[in-house]
Structure 1
Amino acid sequence: MNDDDWADLRSQCADIEPGAELVTPLSERPFRIETTAADRLVVRFADSAEERPLWREQFGVFDEQLEGQAMSIDDLQPGVEPYATVLTLSDAYTVEDDTIVKSPADAAGGESPFLVSAAEARTPPERVRDDALLLAHQIERLEAEGPFSVDSLDTDLLTDYYVLASDVQRGADGVRKTARDELLERLGPEQELHGRFGTVRRTTRERRRPADDETVLAALDDHGIPREWVLGVDPDKLDVVLSVTDLSEDAVYDTIETVYVQKTGVDEDEKYSRLQGIADRIDDLEDAAGEALREDLEDIEDRLEEALTAG
C-alpha cells in the first residue's frame, strides 16, 4: 500500500462520526477504530472489548492481492475480515456484488456497506435511554407553556408525542424481557430479590392447552362423553372450504372492526439529531446553574437512599 492510499485510509478512519461502528461482513462482529498511527490502526470489538492492532504491512499484503482481481467476501478468513472491512472505507476500494475490488482512478470508492451510523449502532438499552430522554424533553417543553392535555396539542406535536411514547414502550419491553431471562437464572423457587426501586420474585403460572385429538377423544370415550360436546369449527379448515367453494365469507364469519393508531415509520436520524442537541446542552451546563442542578440531583439521591434504608 503506497503512502497516499495509507494516508487516505487513516483520514477516512479519523472522519468516522463518533459512535459509529464497523461490522465484519461474515462473522458480523461490530468494532470501532480506537487510534491510528503511522504503522497501525487499533480497533476494539464491541462483543468482547478485545483490542487488536491492524498493521499497515498487512494492509499492503491485502492490497497486493487485490491488484487486477476482485476478492469475494465469502472467501475472507476470520483474521482478514477486519482488514477488509476497514479497507472499504478508502476511496481506493469499493464493494461490488459481494466482492472487494480496487477502484479505478476515476471511480468513487469508499462507500463502505459495513459502516453503521452512530444512530443505528446504539444498543437496545441505549435506545431506550435516548427515547426516554427525548420523550421527557418533549413533555418538559409542553409543560413549560402550562398544563397540557393531548386534545390541546396540534397534530404534529401529538404525532411525535405518540411515536416517542410508543418507541419507549417497545424498547423498554425488549430490555425488560432480557433482564427477566437473566433474573430467572438467579432466582430460586419463591425467592425474592430486592433492589433500590422495587422487589421481584419467581412466580410460576400454569397455562393449559388441549392434548392431541386422539388422546382427548379416547378420554371422552372412556367416560361415555359424546364427542359432539367438544367438537367445534376449525378455522383453518373453514378457510380451505371458502377458497374452493362458492360459500361466502359473510355467511360463516362475524366481522368485528377495530380502529387503532398504527405507527408506520420512525425518523431515527431526526431523533438522533435532536438527541445530540439535547446532549450538547447538557454538556454546556458548566456554570453555577449546572452545578446547582447536579447538587440537587445528588441531594435527591441521598434522601431516596435514606428513605429506602429506613423502610
Structure 2
Amino acid sequence: MPFSVSWHTLLDELDDLPEGATLITPLSHNRFRITDVQEQRVIIKFLERDIDETRPLQRDQFETLYRRITKEPGGFELDRLPSDADPYPAVLSLHPRFEIDEDQGVIVEKEGPTTSQRLDTEDKPETDEQERTEPDLDVYADALLLIDALERHDVTALEERETDALVNIYTLLSDVQRNANALRQDVADVLLNRLHHDRPVSGPFGSVQRTTRRNRSLRDEEEVLETLEAAGIDRERVLGVDRDKVDDALEVTEVAESDIYQIEESEYVRKADVNEERKETRLQGLKDQLAASEEEGAEELREEIEDLETRIDELTSFRTGAEVHD
C-alpha cells in the first residue's frame, strides 16, 4: 500500500479525535495534544511544564518512519529514533494498522485492531478530581503521622524541642525512610521494563533513566592464581590479608583486637523500638479529623490544601537566576 493512502487514513483519524484528546510519547512519556492537522504536517502542543512548546511533525518524517516499520517484520525499534522524534510513533499509533509495544520497545504494523498512545479526552476533564482513597501502605500511614508531628513541632529550632518530641520525630523519619525505600525499589522494578537505553524519562517532579552498574566478584582463588601466573604475575604479589580469616584467628588466640585493627569509635542514635499501638491510635485520630473536616471547616481545609499545592508548585517549578534574585 502506498504511503499516501496510509497518510490520508491517519489524517482522517486525527480529524476525528475528540477535542482535548491527549497522547503520550512512548520513550519519554511526555503528554501532548494535536492542535492542527494539515496536508503536509501535524502540529502538536506539549503539556508538560518543562516542555512548553508547539512543534510541527512533518509528513516526510512520517513517511520515513512508515517505510522503516514496513521493512521490519518484527517491528521498528523505538530506541533507534532521534531524541526529538519521540512524538512521531505516538501519532502514527492512531492509524488502525500501527501499534506500539512498549514491553518490546517497538512499533509494529498489524492486520487486526490495534491500540494507540491516546490517554484521555475532555470527556474526562483533567480538572475533575478522582475520589481519594487511602492506600494500604505502611509508608502512607507513617508519612501522615510524620506530617502531623512536623506541624506540631518547630523543627527549625531542634535544640528547643523536648526529648520525647525529638524521639517521636526520629522514629517516624526512620520508619518513613525504610518503608519509602522498599516502595521505591518496587517502583524501580516496574520502571526498569519501561526505560530504554539510558533515555531520560520525565515527569512533573523530575526525571529518571536506566543505568548499568557493574558488580565484580573473584572466581575461585586457585583459578585466579593460576591465570595470573600464566600471565607472568607471581602469586605472592596478589596474596593479601583476608579479614574473615583474621577474625577467625583472633577468636582462637590471645592476640588483642587493637594489635591487628586500628579502632575508632563514634556514637550515633539508633531506633530501638516502635510503639505501634500508640501510632495506630494517633493515626486513627488523624483519619477521624480528616473525615470530620468534610462537614466542619471543609472550606478552610480546602484553602490550606490549595495553599500547600501553590507552595509545592513554586518549589518544583524552574526559575532562572534573575527571577530568584528579583
* TM-score in terms of structure 1 length: 0.52
Aligned to 2:138: 127
1:168 and 2:176 are equivalent in the alignment = yes
Distance 1:297 1:128 in 2: 21
Report what 2:151 is aligned to: 140
1:41-190 maps to which residues of 2 (within 5 A)?
A: 126-143=137-154, 148-190=156-198
SS at match of 2:201: strand
Given that 1:124 and 1:171 are in contact with CA atoms closer than 8 Å, whether structure 2 keeps it comes out as: no
Matches of 2:226 and 2:189 in 1, distance apart?
38
Aligned-pair identity (%): 43
Checking the alignment, whether the CA contact within 8 Å between 1:124 and 1:175 is kept in structure 2 is no
Q: Following TM superposition, by how much is the alpha carbon of 1:192 offset from its aligned partner in structure 2, in angstroms?
A: 3.1
Structure 2 CA distance for partners of 1:284 and 1:125, relative to 1, 3 Å: closer
Q: Of 245, 250, 258, which residue of structure 2 is paired with 1:250?
A: 258
Deviations 1:49-76 (A, max 9, x none): xxxxxxxxxxxxxxxxxxxxxxxxxxxx
Q: CA deviation at 1:185?
A: 2.2
Q: Is the 8 A contact 1:190 1:201 kept in 2?
A: yes
CA distance in 1, matches of 2:135, 2:309: 26
CA distance in 2, matches of 1:299, 1:153: 27
Q: 1:158 to 1:297 in 2, by over 3 A?
A: closer
Partner of 2:305: 297
Amino acid at match of 1:192: P
Aligned match of 1:197 = 205
CA apart distance, 1:304: 4.7
Q: Which has the higher contact order (CA 8 A, sep 6+)?
A: 2
Would you say the 8 A contact 1:187–1:202 is kept in 2? yes
Cα offsets for 1:125-178 (capped at 9, x unmatched): 6221111111111111113xxx74211111111111111111111110111011
In structure 2, the gaps of 5 or more residues are 1-133, 318-326
Structure 1 residue 259: deviation in Å?
A: 1.4
List alignment gaps of at least 5 residues for structure 1.
1-122
Distance change >3 Å, CA 301–CA 163, structure 1 → 2 = closer
Cα drift, residue 213 of structure 1: 1.5
Deviation at 1:268, TM superposition (A): 0.8
TM superposition score normalised by structure 2: 0.49
Give the aligned CA root-mean-square deviation in angstroms. Answer: 3.0
Q: Are the structure 2 counterparts of residues 216 and 142 from structure 1 closer, same or farther at C-alpha, using a change threshold of 3 Å? A: same
Structure 2 residue aligned with 1:259: 267
* In structure 2, C-alpha distance between the alignment counterparts of 1:300 and 1:249, rounded to whole Å: 55
Q: Which residue in 2 is equivalent to 1:226?
A: 234
Superposed counterparts of 1:28-47, under 5 Å: none
Superposition deviation, residue 296 in structure 1:
5.6
